[in-house]
A and B are shown apart, each in its own frame.
Chain A
Amino acid sequence: MSLLLAAEGAAEGARAATGGDFPYLTVAIILPALVGVAVALVPRRREEVIKALGVLGTVTTAALTVIIAVQFDRHEAGYQMVSRHPWIKSFGISWNLGVDGISLWLVVLTGLLFPIALLGPKVHKDLKAYTAWLLLLEASMIGAFVSLDLFLFFVFFEVVLVPMYFLIGGWGYANRTYAALKFFVYTLVGSAFLLVGIIVLANLHATRTGGPLTFDVVELAKTPGIAGSQLLFLAFMVAFAVKVPVFPLHTWLPDAHTEAPTAGSIILAGVMLKLGTYGILRFAIFLFPQAAKELAWVWLTLAVIGMVYGAVVATMQKDLKRLVAYSSVAHLGFIVLGAFAFTRQGLQGSVVQMINHGISTPALFLLVGWLYERRHTRQISELKGIWKVAPVMGGVFLLVAFSSIGLPGLNGFVGEFLVLIGAYPTAKWWVVVGTTAVILAALYLLWAFQRVFQGEPDEANRTVPDLTMRERAVIAPLLVLIVLLGVYPKPMLDRIEPSVAALVEHVQANGGDTRKEPAILAGPHQAEGHTP
């Protein structure tokens, strides 16, 4: 947050200079994409140029996202920094961007994680393609988080898969091809329903309002009788549930995480999974509040199953990276639980938990990656007594593990606490069961810590070097945030609050809508007939 304060002055100047309508969001998408293309044009041998461009691109984008956070008006619930230009006029598709309290911190988190992902792990081959893919991934991630046009969102939602597919498939571990393909095809199956849902929704909007075809999410939400459409809601939810992933659609995640290179895991866990939970909040719940309320029990149940199941399975893992992957399944259950509680605190906790998970889990993956670089194994049984030889690494791991467990005073606590408190009034029994996941989290993470870091190092582990200065510098921002957001989350909460309150209000106002959606599948099946 000190970073925020420091940037405030600079941003103030920028605001004055540009008249306040500088297209921050567009630039935040285009900049990494352009740098990515530039990297692709540099000859492969000029690694220092590639590296410099990569750092420059990601750090500038990170600074830009921080400026966006500073410019953000904390009293405003609606979309800010909106930029809107028609793209494909005949379909009513526009380049329509904006941030609000729900997406703001995800954008900042994306900006923050990419330099870390780029600088943290060692790259063993083809630095050029690796850097280019990472930059393109960043552009499409930011694009997905700020799109207010459903078509545009879908485009980014899909494009994200391509660089990630190549990162896993090209730089991953032994079983990478299988994992990458599974990841890609799983998500694509989910998006199949999403795209059809989007088209149906846009068509319904056009016919029911008599207006032109549009994919603007705010406009679409005004479609009469749409709030209770369970089929459309489910079509959206399937795509997002695969991405989150919600139990039982999670099976791609452990494979993808385990086989992905460290940078891939950082981005995957840090921001990409949030595309699912973000999509639930931004689109599924916002567009179909009544259906969401009616079907909330399904998703609450699945979320709680995921929380407990993920935690139990994580306990059993022999592979440290797989353990962290399963812990993600458990932690994202919290986010879904909070989202379907429909209370102010629950939703706020949900958004906060997205950010906190996006800080602590990437840090864990980073540490596991560094351990692997040193020992070439991730098997918990082969690691022992690392603390003795690498105390800094041990300390950092412990801090991050505590954050992930949700120890009060660290960031993880804030989100989980808000979710549980907020969900209790509306989803009492689910909360009661879900709370066990908090205890299990302590079990699997501390037990893993104990086995890996404690005790006397054996022969193989005696020579593990401690974190280098570069590694310490890379992980430091995450550690600072873990402590800062745990002690003083107010600047973050302040900016989230109004948008969440507006969403809750929207759900209350439209959720009890008794006008039933006429079952869409029973609509006129045959065309009215065309006579040429």
Chain B
Amino acid sequence: MEINKLNFSESENGQSTIEFLISFVFVLGFLFLFLRLSIVYTNGYLMHYATFSASRAYMVADNGDKNAEGSDGLAFTKAKAVFDKIVNTTQIFGQTIQLKENSMDSENMNSLLVGVFADLNEYFMVPGVTNSRKDLNLKSESFLGREPTRGECIQSVCEVIKGITSVSCSAMVTLDDNGC
């Protein structure tokens, strides 16, 4: 009996361990793939939230300038501050993300696309599979537009009052409270 116990060719000890290790490599690889994907999704949600918050700040920022475009620079500064507070002050992303704007001043800009956006670079891969890494370029966009500035309101109200007080009857004007 003692001789048989030492005879490796007839012993099945360790077989399940070897099989477990072989299959465990694959299971572990896919486990880490899904873990990585969950991190990508979590970062993505946070990024969308930051972009949306920045877009809201961009929409309403106003410094009371009498010129119609006088608040546009301030709007992007405010949006950037909100975005950076959520994204770039945390260590979650491990990268500096640049917020960009689509303003009405941009050439051929559709008014539907006025707002802010940013790109998040992430990746996923299957550990153990060579060259399985895929880089992801995730675009987070929020195009809420811009509220009319006080400068625009002043100009439009001024135009209407001028129309009312003019002696000419060539044009009809209506003065109403449009929320400005």
A, B bound: no
B residues contacting A by CB (< 8 A) are none
